[in-house]
Amino acid sequence: MVTALTVQDTTGVEGVLAVDAGWVADQARALLEDIPVAVFKFGMLGSVEAIAAIAEIVADYPEVPLVFDPVLASGRGDQLADEEMIDAISHLLLPQTTILTPNSLEVRRLAMDDDDEDAPTLAECARRLIAAGTEHVLVTGTHEGTPQVINTLYGGSGQIRADKWERLPGSYHGSGCTLASAIAANLANGLDIEEAVRDAQEYTWQALAAGYRPGMGQHVPDRFFWAREEPEHDAGAAGAICRDPR
């Protein structure tokens, strides 16, 4: 379902028009009353009203896993969610989320509070979000400047796994949503969380390594790399794994 319309290209987001919350709900209800759904996946949500509508709908399907990629800003820093929206996410959606897939900037923004004098560690951020109701948090490490990109999955008992990936040059538009969508597809196909996360990272890395730059801004992943007999793009031009989808 469409929650917002954007004016954007590979360089950034120029404008956002939130879809009326009633329309958001109508889109979801029409599909859910017609087609069985194995998993929910959300990204940019558009408005507080849309968040409330979505939270009400998914509450009717507690058995369906929910994958949430919290799109809070574009790759160049355009803000796509204000503090009121973050508050609504925290109270209405996080308690229903099976797995949250923020990058390190997003996880700190979601988890920090007014009492923090210094930025909390990524592990502490994940712990706070799990305490808020999220079952699992996969923190992607593109922004951390480590030699390799380290993506870490947390659950109620702490860290579950950490995966290291070659840090490819450049930056990407669409990789965070590629990762979250791949996790959702794996869950829909019956994989458990740990397997879904591991296989989705492999798929995303391959899509980025085969990516290309169609305009003057960020590269985009080639999600159909697996269907091509001969690679069309140089993997050396790819961008870092799990880069923001903005």
CB 152 within 8 A of CB 225: no
At residue 113, the pLDDT reads 83
- What is the DSSP secondary-structure string of the chain? ---EEEEEETTEEEEEEEPPHHHHHHHHHHHHTTS--S-EEE----SHHHHHHHHHHHTT-TTS-EEE----B-TT--B---HHHHHHIIIIIGGG-SEE--BHHHHHHHH--TT-SSPPPHHHHHHHHHHTT-SEEEEB-GGG--SEEEEEEEETTEEEEEEEEE--SS-BSSHHHHHHHHHHHHHHTT--HHHHHHHHHHHHHHHHHT-B--SSS-BB--TTGGG-SS--S-GGG---TT----
73's tokens: 């800003």
Per residue in 67-115, pLDDT (tens digit) is 999 988 766 666 778 899 999 999 999 999 999 999 999 999 999 887 7
At residue 13, the pLDDT reads 87
At residue 51, the pLDDT reads 96
Mean pLDDT score across all residues of the chain: 89
At residue 232, the pLDDT reads 53
At residue 239, the pLDDT reads 38
At residue 244, the pLDDT reads 38
Q: Are strands 158-166 and 136-139 parallel, antiparallel or unpaired?
A: unpaired
At residue 229, the pLDDT reads 62
At residue 245, the pLDDT reads 35
Q: What is the radius of gyration, based on Cα positions, of the chain? A: 17
Stretches where the chain sits below pLDDT 70 are 74-78, 229-246
Q: Are strands 136-139 and 148-155 parallel, antiparallel or unpaired?
A: antiparallel
CB 177 within 8 A of CB 41: no
At residue 118, the pLDDT reads 82
